[in-house]
Amino acid sequence: MPTPSDRPTTSELRRDPILRRWVIIAPEHASELAPRRIAADAAAPGQCPFCPGQEAMNPIEVARVGDGAGWAVRVTPDRHPLLRIEGELGRRAVGMFDYMNAVGAHELVIDTPDHACGWADFTPAHMACLLGVYRDRSRDLRRDPRFRHILVLMNRGAAWSRFSHAHSHVVATPFAMKRVEDEMAGAREYYRRKERCAFCDQLAEERHAGTRVVAEQPGFVALAPFASEHAYEVWVLPSAHAADFGRSEDDALAPLGTLLVDVVGRLRRVLDDVPYSVVLHTGPLDQPDSVDFHWHWEIVPLLGHELGIEWATGIYSNPVPPEAAADALRRAGTGPAR
Amino acid sequence: MPTPSDRPTTSELRRDPILRRWVIIAPEHASELAPRRIAADAAAPGQCPFCPGQEAMNPIEVARVGDGAGWAVRVTPDRHPLLRIEGELGRRAVGMFDYMNAVGAHELVIDTPDHACGWADFTPAHMACLLGVYRDRSRDLRRDPRFRHILVLMNRGAAWSRFSHAHSHVVATPFAMKRVEDEMAGAREYYRRKERCAFCDQLAEERHAGTRVVAEQPGFVALAPFASEHAYEVWVLPSAHAADFGRSEDDALAPLGTLLVDVVGRLRRVLDDVPYSVVLHTGPLDQPDSVDFHWHWEIVPLLGHELGIEWATGIYSNPVPPEAAADALRRAGTGPAR
């Protein structure tokens, strides 16, 4: 019979022996099981821990842009981290099973000092500044040899988001994330067959056809992917091959920022202030020159039409053809939101 | 510029060129985007389309157990099918992209005539009867050479469930589902290295350790998997190697039914009538004798603690160690629910 000592009391990583992916077993997060949905905060500006004047609530700064009270972006450690920064990987086996310590970095980025602004409200210059923070955190975190991969994630208006003030996450993991690893494996197979990047080929085909292109900026394209799993899913990619977002030059951040603000603004106009998630998929830290992977941002509105079987089966059913989504988003144009 | 003729008006399958999975592009289901959540029906017994006396609302029967008004289980075509039964696969390429027609079978199973009963309320004999229906539908559908895979799925109490009367789905697809394909690929690699089934090895190790075993019946084991992605996830597997659920003998259905009813009853007691999903993972129809895949049911309570990044990253964080889940479920015992 089990005794309590059979059970971890701090987080650990366990490798699924069938699916070959690492899962975080996180007993410290048990309080998240109740309530079942974390309510969005109703804090007035000034009581929000991310607003200017409340810096003492998140005192440790990993990075910031701007001085004193006039900051534009702040980065702090997350108060409820998925992975802990301290310690060794501690790879080990128990019987047939594989363990690692739940080591990694989990940083919280306060995207703006303005409590009421989302990405769609940002000036292109502010978005470029935020992208520069992500790039610089990626450059800094990769100096830690324990980390294999870096993720940037932003949720806007989602039911599970604890705070409404715009914020995002930079997570460095000691393993490749399954979804990105699946993309890398698919792109690698494509390259072996064709000796061309699968993303570059798609970009060429999409720009020729035009039907799934949403918008462009110099050096960047936004498109609704051919086999979009989610309605109104949009990807933003560099037009020229690049595996590592962390190598982006300063002068690329302005057009990329302009395009991201443009795309989330179009989604807001077409889908009536829908919640959405934005995720950066970038190549593994040890392969910045990969010929087969192509970094990109994935932007997915959270429309709640999922069948509830995606997690269990991998079957996705998307009721909005990407051509129709791209057409609606193109026609939503730019200009003042809503 | 796109014209409406660029857009499909009926469902089609598109293959993701990077992730190598088929996605259903389903414009017929566009109405599911609004409202964002389908409300559970509040129909009184007698107005429910699945109750005895309402058979005329779903007149076409694929199968039934029992005669006349005294039926125990009915199977009808789903009124909003994911995949259509008619037509050829129509595999084709347009440029670099791959298409198929959205062909398949999607059957709705009315699990019981009793409006108020869920799986946890079933007698073991009724559950064995329902399992026999799944097995027989699997045997019948595989005679169609277009189909590669069969899925059985039941959601109980989920927000997206349209009807509260217990029902389930049998879906036959012309492609292997990504999640099951990932399991098959992992199990195949394991077999190549060890010349043993990865599931059989896990079963042996779990039964020896005991800490993650929830319950047993002759020939079947219920366990909380070592690297459970979801809190209180439970798998039910045959103790002896078997790749194909469709080959189950009649005398195996009684202990399997007893164990499934037992497990969902324990989940109900421990988690206070939580919504849950049950999915059958069985091997591909053309490899019933596979030495590396092992069929199993996956039972996952829907606790809503997800981070919202699983879909985008493949990172799962589970706040309940499987040993703690198994211990709580073991102690929940059998006997009258709640």
* SS3 annotation, chain B: CCCHHHCCCCCEEEECCCCCCEEEECHHHHHHHCCCCCCCCCCCCCCCCCCCCCHHHCCCCCEEECCHHHCCEEEEECCCCCCECCCCCCCEEECCEEEEECECEEEEEECCCCCCCCHHHCCHHHHHHHHHHHHHHHHHHCCCCCCCEEEEEEEECCCCCCCCCCEEEEEEECCCCHHHHHHHHHHHHHHHHHCCCHHHHHHHHHHHHCCCEEEEECCEEEECCCCCCCCCCEEEEECCCCCCHHHCCHHHHHHHHHHHHHHHHHHHHHHCCCCEEEEEECCCCCCCCCCCCCCEEEEEECCCCCCCCHHHHCCEEECCCHHHHHHHHHHCCCCCCC
Residue A65 CB neighbours (<10 A): 16
Q: Do B183 and A19 touch (CB under 8 A)?
A: yes
> With bands split at pLDDT 50, 70 and 90, how would you rate the model's confidence at B7?
confident
Strand partners, B31: none
CATH topology of domain B45-82+104-338: HIT family, subunit A (3.30.428)
Domain edges within chain A? 32-81+103-338
Q: Do B315 and A30 touch (CB under 8 A)?
A: no
Question: Which chain B residues contact residue A161 at CB under 8 A?
Answer: 308
User: Whole-structure pTM over 0.90, yes or no?
Assistant: yes
Q: Are B33 and A325 in contact (CB under 8 A)?
A: no
* DSSP secondary structure code for residue A19 in this structure: T
Over the stretch A38-49, which tens digit does the pLDDT of each residue have?
444 555 656 899
Our CA-based measurement puts residue A1 at a distance from the nearest CA of chain B, in whole angstroms, of: 6
Question: Which chain B residues contact residue A202 at CB under 8 A?
Answer: 17, 96
Over the stretch A169-204, which tens digit does the pLDDT of each residue have?
999 999 988 888 999 999 999 999 999 999 999 999
Contacts with A123 (C-beta within 8 Å, 6 or more apart), sequence order? A261
Q: Which of A20, A37, A311 shows the shortest C-beta gap to B186? A: A20
Least confident of A152-156, A160-164, A241-245, B167-171: A160-164
Our CA-based measurement puts residue B13 at a distance from the nearest CA of chain A, in whole angstroms, of: 8
pLDDT at B1 over 50: no
Q: What pLDDT sits at residue B31? A: 72
Q: What pLDDT sits at residue A158? A: 74
pLDDT at A3 over 60: no
Residue A65 parent element (H or E)? strand A63-65
Over the stretch A63-85, which tens digit does the pLDDT of each residue have?
999 977 789 999 999 988 989 99
Q: Do A153 and B309 touch (CB under 8 A)?
A: yes
Q: How far apart are alpha carbons A24 and A32 in whole angstroms? A: 14
> With bands split at pLDDT 50, 70 and 90, how would you rate the model's confidence at B45?
low
Q: Do A225 and B16 touch (CB under 8 A)?
A: yes
* CA atoms within a 13 Å half-sphere pointing along the CA-CB vector of A262: 21
Q: Do A225 and B187 touch (CB under 8 A)?
A: no
Q: What pLDDT sits at residue A176? A: 87
Q: What pLDDT sits at residue A337? A: 43
Q: Do A307 and B20 touch (CB under 8 A)?
A: no
Question: Which chain B residue has the Cα nearest residue A323?
Answer: B7
> With bands split at pLDDT 50, 70 and 90, how would you rate the model's confidence at A159?
low
Average the pLDDT over A306-320 and give the result.
Answer: 79
Q: Do A18 and B190 touch (CB under 8 A)?
A: yes
> With bands split at pLDDT 50, 70 and 90, how would you rate the model's confidence at B118?
very high
Question: Which chain A residues contact residue B189 at CB under 8 A?
Answer: 20
B294: left (phi over 0), alpha (psi -120 to 50) or beta: beta
For chains A and B, count residue pairs whose Cβ atoms are closer than 8 Å.
272
Q: Do B180 and A82 touch (CB under 8 A)?
A: no
Q: Which of A24, A151, A322 shows the shortest C-beta gap to B317? A: A24
pLDDT at A36 over 90: no
Q: Do A151 and B24 touch (CB under 8 A)?
A: no
Average the pLDDT over B32-43 and give the result.
Answer: 50
Q: What pLDDT sits at residue A335? A: 55
Q: Do A20 and B201 touch (CB under 8 A)?
A: no
Q: How far apart are alpha carbons B72 and B63 in whole angstroms? A: 11
Q: Which of A2, A158, A226 shows the shortest C-beta gap to B308? A: A158
Q: Do B300 and A311 touch (CB under 8 A)?
A: yes
Which of B10, B147, B194, B226 has the highest number of chain A CBs within 10 A, making it the mutation to test binding with A? B226
Q: Are B236 and B263 in contact (CB under 8 A)?
A: yes
Question: Which chain A residues contact residue B24 at CB under 8 A?
Answer: 315-318
Q: What is the mean pLDDT of chain A?
A: 89
Which of B80, B311, B323, B329 has the highest number of chain A CBs within 10 A, making it the mutation to test binding with A? B311
Contacts with A5 (C-beta within 8 Å, 6 or more apart), sequence order? none
CATH for the A32-81+103-338 domain, from 3.30.420.40, 1.10.3720.10, 3.40.50.2300, 3.30.428.10: 3.30.428.10
